[in-house]
Amino acid sequence: MEDISHILDPLNPAQREAVTADTGNRLVLAGAGSGKTRVLVHRIAWLLQVQDVRPWHVLAVTFTNKAAREMKGRIEEMLDEPIGGMWVGTFHGLAHRFLRAHWQDAGLPQHFQILDSDDQFRLIKRILKALELDESRWPPRQAQGFINSHKDEGRRPPHIDAAGDFFLEQQLRIYRAYQEACEKAGSIDFAELLLRAHELLRDRPDILHHYRERFAHILVDEFQDTNAIQYAWLRLLAGDRDNLFLVGDDDQSIYGWRGARVENIQSFQRDYPNTQIVRLEQNYRSTSNILGAANALIANNPSRLGKNLWTEDSAGEPIRRYAAFNEIDEARFVVERIRRASQDEGMARSDCAILYRTTAQSRLFEEALIQAGLPYRVYGGQRFFERAEIKDALAYLRLVANPSDETAFERIVNLPPRAIGPRTLDLLRTQARADGSTLWEAARVAVSQPLLPARATGALRGFLELIEGLAASAEAEQELPDLVAEVLEASGLPAHFEKNKDGRGIERLENLEQLVEATRRFAAEVPNDEGDILGSFLAHAALEAGDAQADGFEDSVQLMTLHSAKGLEFPLVFITGVEEGLFPHSMSATDPNRLEEERRLCYVGMTRAKRLLYLTHAESRRLHGREDYAMPSRFLREVPAELIEEVRGGGVSRPHGGRAASGFGAMGFGARRSGTGSKAGAATVDAGGGFQLGQRVRHPKFGPGVVLNAEGHGSGARIQINFESAGAKWLVLEYARLEPA
Ligand code: ATP
Ligand code: MG
């Protein structure tokens, strides 16, 4: 018999049982870090190696593209050979694959384009305008939410009964007009990918039959965060074959706000009564202090399926809590701890993660990391492919691939400026609406008739010829990177950005170069037989969740939202901004269901930590241009006091040779037990000259800022201020002419 010890040895008995189980529906319901993902991966390796299942008979669904790549890599490592033909991906990625293969049956043009949420938003704004609906009364975000949530539930406009409700009627009207515009342009949004793929399987028994035969084994990670349409899709594909292997944790359902339904766990058990539930109770990730804290926190949620989770690991370090004066002090503290861990204790930077509730919080950490000279990566922030200049460039490529792409047309018809003004555009829009044609077609008509002033006609003709010329190049089967370079050059975008005076010109040009690089990498990875490589690349750009950027770079500190940390683990974790109003978020604090979801998010965050967990909060915080004073989060109180140790400030790096002022040195590195509810005394530390650390001040030249640090005495006293406009600077206190702000 073949050696299968590498598949089974790294598993405990409960995990082994799940991995080697006969076919039949299985639901692995277990807490964080109990090895669910490991079980899924080993199960696939087991099927392939021991059960001789062919790779193309396996369908595996992960929550991110990164997780999909890692899963594939792990399995190939275990089997020591490449596994071609296996479908591993996110629901969206897999749906896209279906639709690419069956575009005709799905009623799509061959080169359909994916609208990301920003494209979708812009399109909805244009629809509101066309429908003459006032944006202040009918906010585009609301319409976007309406459309997406109905699609996530599988509802098209005819399925929605407005029942004479004026609000609903208007939303429906927008939904219809939006859908029409998408059909005309041949573009589809994220929710539509899933809905269309579902309808395709539902309405075409032959296609469904084919895939049912093909996917003898269907495995899903993070099942607790599937939405209605995804679950319906799984049910369709599985039929009555009893071949579903799902893993999940109800305590980690954190996407309810986006339509995920944790109830799918119960529905599954109801819909497939023969399902065997597998429970894993040993946690292999965290110290018992961290696990104890997370367990205690989540116990505050009343509606849980309930489970045990224990670890053999030692107690480990206590959880550290830091009360910062403000958000700048918080960033300084976190970065200083990371600097110490990486420089003094030899920890890899990539072992350190900074987690936050909202993306807006990342900027200060980034600044502090830059200042400390620590490389970092932001996951899931603004994706590379979402940067304005990249979207501009992609819009050229999209229009080249598909001239009906209205979103792309609108974006670049006058970018760089080529004298195609708003009046010309309005005329095109009106014309297109009247004829039921696309903007491209309307433009074709416009240049062949004396409709527009000569100058506008000339400009428009130039634009059409430019795109047509590039489309001819694309047809000529060039290499993708060469084509992209040609399109960029011809577009005039590089020259335009170079001239641009906003100071970001160089960065933009570099990003455009990165885009060509990205196509090179992509072309090297994608097998040649995929045909339409430009189309594949554009889909990749729309679907890639931004996590790929973080791969393969130098050892960097990891920054991400709590949501995007799901499934990951790090030796050292900082959960920041643990304040009422921010976490739990103010939008969730009054709704018990949403509050529970925030608590699950906190549970997800805490259980990412393997060895050491910091919880930080700031007494005052400037966010979105407003300064707020915040109470420490209720989540801090829900962690047993004996597991937490309060840390006081300190650890501030000083420039060479500087001696700490007496008050500053007093901050020390000491830690003391909390439980008394008292906060770190550092807030009162004098930074000299009557200023305090964290205090807001104003400088006659640099404007407003915050006191970060101080050193020296008397005439040698220096003070470090982080200025809003000029960044951090050391100033001689005597001459600084600072005023309290
Ligand atoms: P999450 O709920 O956060 O997604 P999970 O249940 O998927 O967690 P894994 O990520 O699979 O858990 O495993 C957590 C950690 O424990 C990983 O580092 C994994 O390699 C390790 N691990 C899992 N099972 C075992 C085992 N039997 N022996 C040793 N280590 C294990
Ligand atoms: Mg997992």
ipTM of the complex model: 0.99
- How high is the pLDDT of residue 379? 80
Task: Determine the Cα–Cα distance for residues 636 and 639; give it in Å rounded to an integer.
Answer: 6
Element (H, E) at 176: helix 166-185
Average pLDDT of the residues in 414-422: 91
Residues in the chain, overall count: 741
Residue 296 has pLDDT above 80, yes or no: yes
| Residue 473 annotated as lining a ligand binding site | no
Question: Is residue 525 flagged as an active site residue?
Answer: no
- Count the Cβ atoms, other than its own, within 10 Å of residue 296: 13
Separation CA 612–CA 605 (nearest Å): 12
Evaluate if residue 98 carries a pLDDT over 80. yes
Indicate if the pLDDT at residue 734 is higher than 50: yes
Supply 567's token pair: 């499934």
pLDDT mean over 341-345? 91
Residue written as tokens 């009964």?
161
Single-letter code of the amino acid located at 549: Q
| Mean pLDDT value across the chain | 87
pLDDT over 80 at 732, yes or no: no
Q: What angle do CA 75, 24, 254 make, to 5 degrees?
A: 65
Tokens representing residue 195 in the block:
């809905």
Tell me the percentage of the chain whose pLDDT exceeds 70. 90
222 included as an active-site residue: yes
Q: What angle do CA 338, 339, 345 make, to 5 degrees?
A: 85
Residue in 38, 40, 562 to alter for ligand 1 test, most ligand atoms within 8 A of Cβ: 38
Give 567 Cα–ligand 1 centroid separation in angstroms: 9
Is 566 labelled as part of a ligand binding site?
Answer: no
For the ranges 113-117, 439-443, 660-664, the maximum mean pLDDT occurs at: 439-443
Mutate to test the pocket of ligand 1, among 285, 298, 564 (most ligand atoms within 8 A of CB): 285
Strands 276-278 and 26-29: parallel
CA 285 to centroid of ligand 1, rounded, Å: 6
Active-site annotation holds for 438? no
Is 37 within any annotated ligand binding site?
Answer: yes
How far is the CA of 534 from the CAs of 251, 484, 540, in angstroms? 41, 9, 10
Confidence of residue 694 (pLDDT cuts 50, 70, 90): confident
Shortest-distance Cα residue to atom 11 of ligand 1 = 35
Q: Is the peptide bond before 584 cis (omega within 30 degrees of 0)?
A: yes
Residue identified by tokens 């990003």 is: 511
**289's tokens:** 């202090």
- In order of their start, the domains of the chain are 5-99+195-278 (3.40.50.300), 113-185 (1.10.10.160), 288-383+551-647 (3.40.50.300), 384-543 (1.10.486.10), 681-740 (2.40.10.170)
Model pLDDT, residue 670: 29
- What pLDDT does 660 receive? 31
Query: What CA–CA distances, in Å, run from 149 to 161, 259, 531, 567, 569?
Result: 15, 6, 34, 25, 31
Whether 502 is a known active-site residue: answer: no
Residue 11 Cα: closest atom of ligand 1: 27
* 3 state SS of 29: strand
Q: Is the pLDDT of residue 683 over 50?
A: no
Q: What residues contact 574, with CB distance under 8 A and at least 6 apart?
A: 334, 337, 338, 352, 353, 354, 355, 613, 614, 615, 616
Calculate how far, in angstroms, residue 740's C-alpha sits from the geometric centre of ligand 1. Answer: 51
Residues 115 and 146 sit within 8 Å (Cβ to Cβ)? no
13 Cβ contact partners less than 8 Å away, ≥ 6 residues apart:
none
Residue nearest to atom 9 of ligand 1 (CA): 35
Our answer to whether residue 105 is catalytic in this structure is no
Locate the ligand 1 atom nearest the alpha carbon of residue 567 and give its number: 4
Inter-residue contact 649 to 667 (CB < 8 Å): yes
35 is in an annotated binding site: yes
Q: In the beta sheet, which residues pair with residue 60?
A: 88, 219
C-alpha of residue 550 to centroid of ligand 1, in Å: 22
Exactly one of 230, 252, 561, 695 is catalytic; name it.
252
Q: Provide, for the chain, the percentages of residues in helix, strand and coil under a 3-state DSSP scheme, each rounded to the nearest 5.
A: 50, 15, 35
Neighbour order of strands in the sheet with 276-278: 87-89, 58-61, 217-220, 244-248, 26-29, 276-278
Residue whose CA lies nearest to ligand 1 atom number 18: 285
When mean pLDDT is compared across 81-85, 235-239, 293-297, the lowest value belongs to 81-85
Q: What letter would DSSP give residue 732?
A: E
**Residue 221 annotated to the active site:** yes
- Nearest-CA residue for atom 31 of ligand 1: 284
Pocket of ligand 1 (CB under 6 A): 10-12, 15, 30, 32-38, 249, 252, 284-285, 567, 569, 607
Nearest ligand, measured from the Cα of 67: 2
The response to whether 187 counts as a known ligand-binding position is no
